[in-house]
Structure formats: C-alpha cells, structure tokens
C-alpha cells in the first residue's frame, strides 16, 4: 500500500474511533507529516483522498475540518458474510509473535517495545480455497491466541474475551494472483482477485485486528447515502 493510501486509511480509522466525541479538526499538515515520517506532499495526497470521499474539508488558512456524518456508509453484506459458518472453514499457515513495525504502531497505538500477533490463514468456502488472509492483532488482551482460535471465528473470539465490537474500516483494490498465491489457492497465476485491507475496531476506538486479504471470488453490496459534498468536489 502506498504511504498516502495508508495515511488516508489511518486518519479515517481515527475519525471513526472518536465518533462518540468527534474532534472538530485534524492536526495541521506539518504535524501530520512529522507524525507519519513522510513529506508534506504525501500527507497532502492522503488529505485529498479524504476530501474526495467527503470525510473532511480543507478551509484555507483555517484548518482541516471533519465532516459530520462521516461514518454513515455501512457495508450491508459481501460474498463472505452472506455465507453460513457451516460453509466456511480455515487453515492456519503461520502464527508468531513479534514487535510492531511503524505502520502497525500507528494502527494499534503501540510503542516499538510492545508485541503483536501475526498470522496467516486460508479461508475455504464450500470446500474451495478462496482467500489468503494475513492478520495482525495486539498481544495485550489476546495473550491466549492459538491455532484453534485462528481456525474459527476471530470476531467470536474477541466477543468471548468480553470486548464489544463497534465496526470495520475496509479498503478494496483489484489485483492479480502471484505464483505463490496461486499455489496456495489452487488457481491459475495472474487471474483477477480482490485485495481487502480491513481494520476491526472495538467500542471505545481500539483496533483489535488489521488484515490484508486476497480473495479470488469476492463481491459486495453497499447502501451509500447521497453525499452532496462529494458530488460538488467531483464536479470541480
């Protein structure tokens, strides 16, 4: 993922995390550049993305303002969530604990001295491999994560730990399948697939999981309220 895309997703995630007591403005461009360790040009590209989807508006000489109702674009269902759990199975490929990199520190609000879990699993739908999922979770609060949990529902595991799940923030991008991915999925190299980057967010704002998923059989349906600001931005 490009740095500007990551920053746009991270800022949007933080806006969602504080939806109960939404701050009026984002930090200034210079401060954001310092926090993410990038140029102001990269931050500007990320902010342009947020403006284009109607999340923020930039008032010259005043600041970056967060638009009201930014979290009102819910995902109704997709080709995974419409399936019954009896049709879905997982196979864990890898699980280890390590220190978070800089992006993961931003996502989970961790320090370089904290730990995260990193795991890879295959998702099967009706006995067919359709997804490769690479996920990260903070070790704190999920110390007993294991293969049995990973080969079942992560959401149910989180709920069983006593946490309340609030929402997900998801990004989609069309890609093609690499040779290594094709071997795992049992498909041809170079076929079209969907790359899904997803953050699971708890009530109170904590991100409990950050996942990159490759899906060779994906579809989704949304309900998106009309956004007059977005229309006006696209017409300029």
Average pLDDT over residues 72-89: 71
Residue 236 inside a domain? The answer is: no
CATH of the domain at 51: 1.10.10.10
Q: Within this chain, do residues 52 and 84 fall inside the same structural domain, yes or no?
A: no
pLDDT at 30: 94
* Counted domains in the chain: 2
Closest CA to 200 of 11, 13, 5, 9: 13
Residue 85 inside a domain? The answer is: yes
Mean of the per-residue pLDDT values of the chain: 89
102-147: pLDDT as tens digits: 999 999 999 999 999 999 999 998 889 999 999 999 999 999 999 9
Residue 234 inside a domain? The answer is: no
Q: Within this chain, do residues 130 and 166 fall inside the same structural domain, yes or no?
A: yes
pTM value surpassing 0.85: no
Q: Which residues pair with 173 in a beta bridge?
A: 195
Distance CA 135, CA 122 (A): 11
Q: Is the pLDDT of residue 233 over 90?
A: no
Show the domain range for 56. 3-71
Under DSSP, is residue 229 helix (H, G, I), strand (E, B) or coil?
helix
Q: Within this chain, do residues 183 and 166 fall inside the same structural domain, yes or no?
A: yes
- Say if CB 5 and CB 49 are below 8 A apart: yes
155-157-163-166 Cα dihedral, nearest 10 degrees: 0
Q: Within this chain, do residues 98 and 14 fall inside the same structural domain, yes or no?
A: no
Residue 229 inside a domain? The answer is: no
Q: Within this chain, do residues 101 and 53 fall inside the same structural domain, yes or no?
A: no
Q: Is the pLDDT of residue 69 over 80?
A: no
Q: Within this chain, do residues 65 and 80 fall inside the same structural domain, yes or no?
A: no
Q: Within this chain, do residues 169 and 91 fall inside the same structural domain, yes or no?
A: yes
Q: Within this chain, do residues 86 and 32 fall inside the same structural domain, yes or no?
A: no
Sign of CA dihedral 48, 53, 55, 61: positive
Helix (H) or strand (E) holding 45: helix 40-52
Neighbours of 70 (CB within 10 A): 18
Q: What is the largest CA-CA distance in the chain?
A: 57
Q: Within this chain, do residues 64 and 79 fall inside the same structural domain, yes or no?
A: no
Q: Within this chain, do residues 108 and 199 fall inside the same structural domain, yes or no?
A: yes
């Amino acid at each position: 993922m490009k740095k500007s895309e990551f920053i746009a997703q991270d800022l949007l995630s933080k806006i969602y995390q504080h939806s109960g007591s939404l701050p009026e403005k984002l930090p200034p461009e210079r401060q954001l550049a310092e926090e993410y360790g990038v140029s102001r040009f990269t931050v500007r590209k990320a902010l342009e993305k947020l403006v284009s989807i109607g999340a923020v508006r930039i008032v010259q000489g005043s600041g970056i303002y967060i638009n009201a109702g930014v979290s009102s674009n819910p995902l109704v269902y997709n080709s995974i969530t419409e399936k019954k759990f009896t049709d879905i199975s997982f196979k864990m490929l890898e699980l280890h604990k390590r220190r978070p990199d800089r992006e993961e520190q931003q996502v989970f609000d961790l320090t370089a001295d904290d730990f995260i879990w990193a795991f890879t699993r295959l998702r099967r739908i009706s006995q067919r491999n359709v997804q490769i999922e690479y996920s990260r979770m903070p070790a704190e609060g999920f110390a007993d994560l294991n293969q049995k949990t990973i080969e079942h529902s992560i959401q149910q595991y989180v709920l069983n730990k006593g946490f309340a799940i609030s929402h997900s923030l998801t990004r989609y991008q069309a890609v093609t399948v690499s040779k290594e991915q094709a071997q795992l999925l049992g498909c041809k190299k170079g076929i079209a697939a969907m790359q899904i980057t997803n953050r699971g967010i708890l009530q109170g704002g904590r991100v409990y999981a950050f996942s990159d998923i490759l899906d060779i059989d994906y579809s989704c349906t949304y309900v998106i309220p009309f956004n007059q600001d977005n229309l006006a931005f696209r017409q300029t």
